[in-house]
Structure 1
């Protein structure tokens, strides 16, 4: 098991997501940056969607009770084990009593910790992902215990190291498809949508990212319709809201764009004050 000595900021258990609850209006949840989660798992020979720890902005301090292998992907939070620095995207052995500690993110804002075999917390509606109202808590607190399967012996997967693309966190361009209401925008509105560098506001979390710049909204309200992670909504005031992994499953604002999965991953590594631009496929 892992004992949480210090929780960091919004550290939570996440996996590929919870798809069994969509018919009940339950958000998908899951790792914000699915690519980084998959990389951390791949290094250990885990399944791509096995449960990991997602850490945002400032990481936790953790103590391991039994041997395992770990790997870390995503934002570099200067991880150390017993004070010794670890490289990202590399498998490391852990023994009983080892303390793993993270600091603040140097680039990007979300980091992912995988353990061999994945975390084995409770499965609810097909997922271990934490979400308020579905699991006991939406994130981890001091003293929390996280189960995993301890290893009798440590074996390293062959060829289990990946190259870190640090520049990916700095890329502004997000690839998008037209949303259902996109064609209702005028040519001028469409042109502005793709010419503007939008700034991420302080309203950004696992549910949605709001942008500071406004786009004139001449669209009529829509009847409540399905939405999903990556849906870009245009509010009556002209604000753009990009739905993320914990977003609701229906909404009433016009859906003008839809991010692809890689664009959602890239956006999840950005924070307040950074810029993004939309690029149509």
Structure 2
């Protein structure tokens, strides 16, 4: 096992994968990466399974020392990643050497960044997942966020190989802004709202309050009117479900949501838009647009086709050569920065 040494942890850095699926009946949420698209991009770039665990970094990045030569990739929110104080490119394969220091600057866009390591993190997988569920103290690194001095194991046997330089096509890289229109499927309790209430929901702008975390986002804005109260018999809660409690303001349920809830749900955000919601922060604005389930399924199928195509393209270029050493350079040409890696093979 190789080790990543944490010198500074950042405010909230955890290990997250594709989620802990199948345990909702026992009260265990699926959890996993808030931005599942960025997680998949990062893993594809380093040759992992798309849902392998990566670091989920929130708002401010950690400072990490690598104790072996490794392959990494950084995606999601842009926090100015750098190695040995030299800025590195995102959405591409990066080779690092033993002793290199990864650090981050200020937040440029989004709020969650993902760092995948070739081979994946060598932590336990309770209930089939490495994801950290903070409230339950399950998974990840000791069931908690990273702290100063932590030593994170990596499966080095799978990481010591050359896989080429991989880049996510520019047209597929998501753009994160401070306002977003999320597409939704209306229901399942839409009959519990007045016509004016649904019109308010679909035609108003809401602001993400400071009551937001991996469990849910509370929005501030125009009140949504119920017909006869907000309470219902408790039912299942999905990622992206939008509850409207008695106060009339929406709450979007996120990755670490509770498994059941007793408030009316006016709509559910479609799967392809959840990664963009995951990148919103306090003060950002969101609107909602109604689409039907057939359109939502079409959007999801198109995204899956893009990811599958990229994965297959990279697999064909997997050279599987052992790496002896790597040097990274940042070259500036005509006002544009380029990250260049030079590898020496055994």
Query: How would you bin the TM-score normalised by the shorter chain?
Result: over 0.9
Q: What pairs with 1:217-256 in structure 2 (closer than 5 Å)?
A: 217-220=226-229, 221-256=231-266
| Structure having the larger proportion of residues in strand | 2
Equivalent residue, structure 2, for 1:51:
53
Equivalent residue, structure 2, for 1:148:
154
Deviation for aligned residue 1:216:
2.5
TM-score by length of 1: 0.95
Deviation for aligned residue 1:157:
3.8
Deviation for aligned residue 1:149:
1.8
Select which of 161, 171, 177 maps to 2:185. 177
Equivalent residue, structure 1, for 2:225:
216
Q: What pairs with 1:74-113 in structure 2 (closer than 5 Å)?
A: 74-113=76-115
Q: Which deviates the most, 73-82 or 175-184?
A: 175-184
Query: In the TM superposition, what whole-angstrom CA distance separates every residue of 1:143-169 from its partner, at most 9, and x where no partner exists?
Result: 112111225744134644432746343
Deviation for aligned residue 1:42:
1.1
Q: Distance in 1 between matches of 2:168 and 2:220?
A: 39
- How many pairs align? 281
Query: In the TM superposition, what whole-angstrom CA distance separates every residue of 1:126-154 from its partner, at most 9, and x where no partner exists?
Result: 10001122243331111112111225744
* Corresponding residue SS for 1:167: coil
Contact 2:196 2:225 in 1 (8 A): no
Deviation for aligned residue 1:197:
0.7
Alignment of 1:193 onto 2:201: yes
| Structure having the larger proportion of residues in helix | 2
Contact 1:45 1:157 in 2 (8 A): no
Q: Distance in 1 between matches of 2:167 and 2:273?
A: 26
Residues 61/216 of structure 1: CA separation in 2 closer, same or farther (3 Å cut): same
Q: Which deviates the most, 192-201 or 163-172?
A: 163-172
Alignment of 1:12 onto 2:14: yes
Q: Distance in 2 between matches of 1:140 and 1:154?
A: 27
Unaligned runs of 5+ in 1: none
Q: Distance in 1 between matches of 2:179 and 2:92?
A: 24
* Corresponding residue SS for 2:232: coil
Contact 2:176 2:279 in 1 (8 A): no
* Corresponding residue SS for 1:273: coil
Unaligned runs of 5+ in 2: 292-346
* Corresponding residue SS for 2:127: coil
* Corresponding residue SS for 1:147: strand
Q: Distance in 2 between matches of 1:157 and 1:78?
A: 23
* Corresponding residue SS for 1:238: coil
* Corresponding residue SS for 1:59: coil
Query: In the TM superposition, what whole-angstrom CA distance separates every residue of 1:2-52 from its partner, at most 9, and x where no partner exists?
Result: 111100021000000001322211011100000011111111221110000
- Select the structure with the greater relative contact order (CA < 8 A; seq sep ≥ 6): 1
Q: What pairs with 1:239-278 in structure 2 (closer than 5 Å)?
A: 239-278=249-288
Residues 101/159 of structure 1: CA separation in 2 closer, same or farther (3 Å cut): closer
TM-score by length of 2: 0.78
* Corresponding residue SS for 1:113: strand
